[in-house]
Amino acid sequence: METTENKEIKNDQLWLTLFTVIPVVSASNLGRELSLLLGINSILVSAIVGGVGGAIGFGLYQFTKESSMIAGVLTLLALFISIIMLIIIIDSPREDKAIINEEWESQQIGTLIFISTDRLELQTNTS
């Protein structure tokens, strides 16, 4: 039979896991979106942003671990929603007016002729 102390330890471990894993996973997705926006290495950005998310989650856990379960759930939910909102804001498509007003460039790759706002280059796999 489990003692009350063992149940409290398991409860604390559960909350610590929730407060670190959920921000790490969702912030890693935020890092992926940031890397696409900035055009840099997605693994590195995802790892850094995920680590920052885990640190924020751990700090929030330390701040709320003596609070009620409702406060912990609300804090975790607020953190998750704020990260999801950042992902939505970063990933939102450009408006048509902004795309139309950009300078369009006529390009040709192989026999394919097209226009685009970004200069594209044919890349081949050399491995």
Which pLDDT score is estimated for 78? Answer: 92
Segment 88-110 mean pLDDT: 72
CA atoms within 13 A on the CB side of 108: 3
Q: pTM higher than 0.75, yes or no? A: no
The whole-angstrom separation of Cα 81 and Cα 7 is 29
Quick check: 13 pLDDT over 80? yes
Token look-up 């997605």 returns: 42
Arithmetic mean of pLDDT over the chain: 81
Residue 35 has a CB neighbour count (10 Å cut-off) of 18
Segment 81-109 mean pLDDT: 75
Which pLDDT score is estimated for 123? Answer: 67
Helices assigned H by DSSP within 4-68: 4-38, 42-64
Q: Where are the chain's structural domains?
A: 4-93
Which pLDDT score is estimated for 6? Answer: 77
The whole-angstrom separation of Cα 98 and Cα 26 is 29
The whole-angstrom separation of Cα 106 and Cα 108 is 7
Read off the pLDDT band of 26 (50, 70, 90): confident
Which pLDDT score is estimated for 67? Answer: 86
Which pLDDT score is estimated for 56? Answer: 92
